[in-house]
Structure 1
Amino acid sequence: MKLVIEKDVKAMSENAMYILLGAMLQDKRVNISLTSGRTPRQLYEMMIPLVKDQKKFKDIEYYLFDENPFIDEQYGTNWAEMKEMFFEPAHIDETHIHRITLDNWIDYDWQIRQAGGLDVMIIGLGHDGHFCGNCPRCTQFDSYTYCMEYKDKLAVNPTYGERPRQPYTITMGAKSLMRVQHLVMIVNGKEKAEIFKRFIEEPVNEEVPATILKLHPNFTVICDDEAASLLSIEDESRL
């Protein structure tokens, strides 16, 4: 694992953007996976004018890695947020966006492998140490993409709040992420400092599911000074 500490969220976002653009400029089919949420918002703001209507990026394929679909609908909040933050303003053709659904999740990993695998994935670190849809005490470390009832996740994470219109949660598991060629995590803000310290210092455990990702052979973690504020010099030098 490589740890990169930047001074602020702008520098962190720039670093992640250079990794993405470098992968996207390869002379082959390029498959990438992007995260929704608060953390990548500035990253996408920087990328949009560089990607929008650019022929050299027109054949990039985008894969969503988790979803909580609404009842009687194929898609959920993740798809809606990614459309708003990046896909629509960057003029990404929907034929190049691959969504995870209740109908295709069983074959999702196979479809990605048939397409050459994911070149790069950007993920965040959840406030409680979750990654993608893999949450404390209910993460299946030995799984590829899987589906579970939301009530089972809520039973062990009661602070999540009920989602009566979204009864299922679908996510790529740890094994799916281990297949990504370059896995990149971005973390920022004081509010993430404590969980980030736990992620760095603790061994693999179900209370902080993201710890499993430290086993990935090509894993880059980019954070800002605030997120790294509780790390000791020993922590930083060990990585």
Structure 2
Amino acid sequence: MQLIVTEDYREMSQKAAQIVADQIRNKPDAVIGFATGSTPLGLYAELIGMYDRGELDFSRITTFNLDEYVGLSREHPQSYYRFMWENLFSKINVQNERIHFPPGIFTDAEAVCSRYEEEIAEAGGIDLQILGIGTNGHIGFNEPDETYTLATHVVELAEETIEANARFFHDKAEVPRRAITMGVKSIMNARSILLLANGKSKAEAVSHICTGVVDPKVPASILQLHPHVTLLVDREAARLIEMKGEAAWSHSR
């Protein structure tokens, strides 16, 4: 695992954009796994800027998003499809037929979860998976539990996650209680992973990725077993790692 600590959110977003851009330049038909939430917004703004300046071509990439709220259609203003469309996809030249999301509305959960796994496999697997991290250590919507769920699945959201996401809704009662998400194996099968975290609220969760202990109660801790993970965080999110004096990580400032 490579740890890159930046001074602030802006620098984190710029470095993240460079990593994604390098992946696409090296493999124009790359399969990219995208994440939603406030953390990657700066990254997406940087990618849009690269496209506008003619520095990056998205026309051949294929995308897979980590998750979606159960019960929300693509047209719902708080759906993750809508989030990605408004904050990235509508502003670059990605092809609509190459954009993939787990559906939020379905009748057969097992069938749609299996089909999403098949679509990823048919695309050749994910080359670069972008991740955020919840304050409770979740990745995607893989919440703390006694065991890991490996494949795409429907999950009951933790109260902490509902609280964190309530800011995107008019009222906490509107936040869906379930989501469909890639499982831990789905994420770990990506050839490389880029995890972003900023702010002091993420410091404790980030520190658990660097302990050497893998615990499903801190889902992101499993990333320590992946051979190609870049942990890109600002100084506030890294503060507990630095306090522990972790020596096994590569720092870049």
Shared fold (TM-score, shorter chain, > 0.5)? yes
CA RMSD of aligned residues (A): 2.6
Q: Which runs of 5+ in 1 are unaligned?
A: none
Whichever residue aligns with residue 63 of structure 1, its letter is F
Cα deviation, 1:180-230, whole Å, max 9, x if unaligned, reads 011110111122122222332361113211111111111110111111112
Bigger mean CA deviation after superposition, 212-221 or 97-106: 97-106
Bigger mean CA deviation after superposition, 200-209 or 78-87: 200-209
1:132 aligned residue: 140
Q: 1:219 aligns with which of 221, 229, 232?
A: 229
Q: Within 1, Cα distance between the matches of 2:124 and 2:211?
A: 34
1:99 aligned residue: 101
Q: Which runs of 5+ in 2 are unaligned?
A: 164-171
Q: Does 1:176 align with 2:177?
A: no
Q: Does 1:47 align with 2:47?
A: yes
Bigger mean CA deviation after superposition, 56-65 or 172-181: 56-65
How far 1:136 moved relative to its partner?
A: 1.4
Whichever residue aligns with residue 236 of structure 1, its letter is E
How far 1:58 moved relative to its partner?
A: 0.9
- Percentage of pairs with the same residue: 29
2:150 aligned residue: 143
8 Å contact 1:100–1:108 — kept in the other structure? yes
Q: Does 1:4 align with 2:14?
A: no
- Please give the TM-score of this superposition, normalised by the length of structure 2: 0.81
Measured at CA, do residues 144 and 237 of structure 1 come closer, stay the same or move farther in structure 2, by a change above 3 Å?
A: same
Measured at CA, do residues 163 and 51 of structure 1 come closer, stay the same or move farther in structure 2, by a change above 3 Å?
A: farther
Q: 1:118 aligns with which of 115, 123, 126?
A: 126
Q: Within 2, Cα distance between the matches of 1:50 and 1:39?
A: 19
Bigger mean CA deviation after superposition, 22-31 or 58-67: 22-31
Whichever residue aligns with residue 179 of structure 2, its letter is T
How far 1:233 moved relative to its partner?
A: 5.9
Whichever residue aligns with residue 70 of structure 2, its letter is P
8 Å contact 1:60–1:96 — kept in the other structure? yes
Measured at CA, do residues 48 and 141 of structure 1 come closer, stay the same or move farther in structure 2, by a change above 3 Å?
A: same
